C-alpha cells in the first residue's frame, strides 16, 4: 500500500485524473435533485441513504429510485436550465491546472449523462471524457428506463472505466477522486484514491482513505510544489 508521500507523488506525476461528480465536482446529488424537482424528493433521499449504506446493489438502487421518479425528457432539461448543478469551490481552478500540466481529466459518475455533460462543459472537459448513466425516453419524451449496459450502472463500474482507460490510452498513473465507497473501490485498478469531504462526509471513506481532503485547494497546493 502506498504511503501518503507516495500518493502525493502519484498525483504530481499522474497522466489522468478521474473525478466522481455528485457531491464531489458538484455540491449536490443529481438524482436527489431530480427527485425533488419531480415531487418525490423525500422517498428517493431515503432510498439513496440506504444505497450509500451498501445494503443493496448500485443497479438495484438506481432501478428503484428511477422507477419512483420516472423523469421525462422535458423534466430533465428543465432541471438543468432552472436549477443548474453548482460547482464545488476550487474545482474549476484544479481542473484548469491539471489541463495546463497536460493531464487528461475524466468525469466518472453514477449520475446521468445529460447532467454530467453540462458540468463537463463548464470545466472545458470534452464530452468524450464523460462516463455516466444514460436515461432512455420514448418518442413522446416519457421515461423509458436507463441504459443498463453502461459500466457506471453497476457496482464496481468505476473500476471498469479506469481499467478501460488504462488499456485504451496506456495511462501509467490514474488518480480517482471522490466522496463515496464506489470511488474508493476503483483503486485498484486506479493507482491512488483521494477521498473528498468538502460537500458531504461519508465516515466509511474518511476512515479508510489514506488521503482525505475537504477542499480542492489542498490538491492545487500539491501541484504547485513542482
Query: CB of 32 within 8 A of CB of 48?
Result: yes
Query: CB of 113 within 8 A of CB of 88?
Result: no
Note if 22 is an active site residue: yes
Note if 183 is an active site residue: no
What CA–CA distance (Å, rounded) separates 186 from 193? 8
Helices marked H in 19-103: 30-37, 41-52, 58-69, 73-82, 91-100
| Selected catalytic residue, list 15, 20, 179, 191 | 20
User: Which residues are CB-contacts of 139 (< 8 A; sequence separation ≥ 6)?
Assistant: none
What CA–CA distance (Å, rounded) separates 58 from 64? 10
| Cell numbers representing residue 166 in the block | 488504462
DSSP code per residue over 92-115: HHHHHHHHHTT-EEEEEEEEEHHH
| Selected catalytic residue, list 22, 32, 179, 183 | 22
User: Which residues form the catalytic set?
Assistant: 20, 22
Amino acid at each position: 500500500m502506498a504511503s501518503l508521500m507516495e500518493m502525493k507523488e502519484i498525483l504530481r506525476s499522474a497522466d489522468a485524473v478521474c473525478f466522481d461528480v455528485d457531491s464531489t465536482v458538484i455540491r449536490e446529488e443529481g438524482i436527489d435533485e431530480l427527485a425533488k424537482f419531480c415531487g418525490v424528493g423525500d422517498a428517493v433521499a431515503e432510498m439513496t441513504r440506504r444505497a450509500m449504506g451498501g445494503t443493496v446493489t448500485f443497479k438495484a438502487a438506481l432501478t428503484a429510485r428511477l422507477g419512483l421518479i420516472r423523469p421525462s425528457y422535458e423534466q430533465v432539461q428543465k432541471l438543468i436550465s432552472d436549477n443548474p448543478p453548482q460547482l464545488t469551490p476550487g474545482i474549476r481552478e484544479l481542473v484548469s491546472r491539471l489541463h495546463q500540466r497536460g493531464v487528461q481529466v475524466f468525469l466518472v459518475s453514477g449520475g446521468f449523462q445529460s447532467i454530467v455533460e453540462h458540468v463537463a462543459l463548464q470545466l472545458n472537459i470534452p464530452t468524450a471524457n464523460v462516463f455516466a448513466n444514460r436515461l432512455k425516453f420514448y418518442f413522446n419524451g416519457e421515461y423509458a428506463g436507463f441504459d443498463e449496459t453502461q459500466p457506471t450502472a453497476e457496482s464496481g463500474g468505476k473500476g471498469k472505466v479506469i481499467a478501460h482507460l488504462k488499456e485504451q490510452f496506456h495511462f501509467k498513473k490514474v488518480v480517482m477522486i471522490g466522496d463515496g465507497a464506489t470511488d474508493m473501490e476503483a483503486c485498484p485498478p486506479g493507482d491512488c484514491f483521494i477521498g473528498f469531504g468538502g460537500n458531504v462526509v461519508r465516515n466509511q471513506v474518511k476512515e479508510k482513505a489514506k488521503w482525505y481532503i475537504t477542499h480542492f485547494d489542498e490538491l492545487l497546493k500539491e501541484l504547485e510544489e513542482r
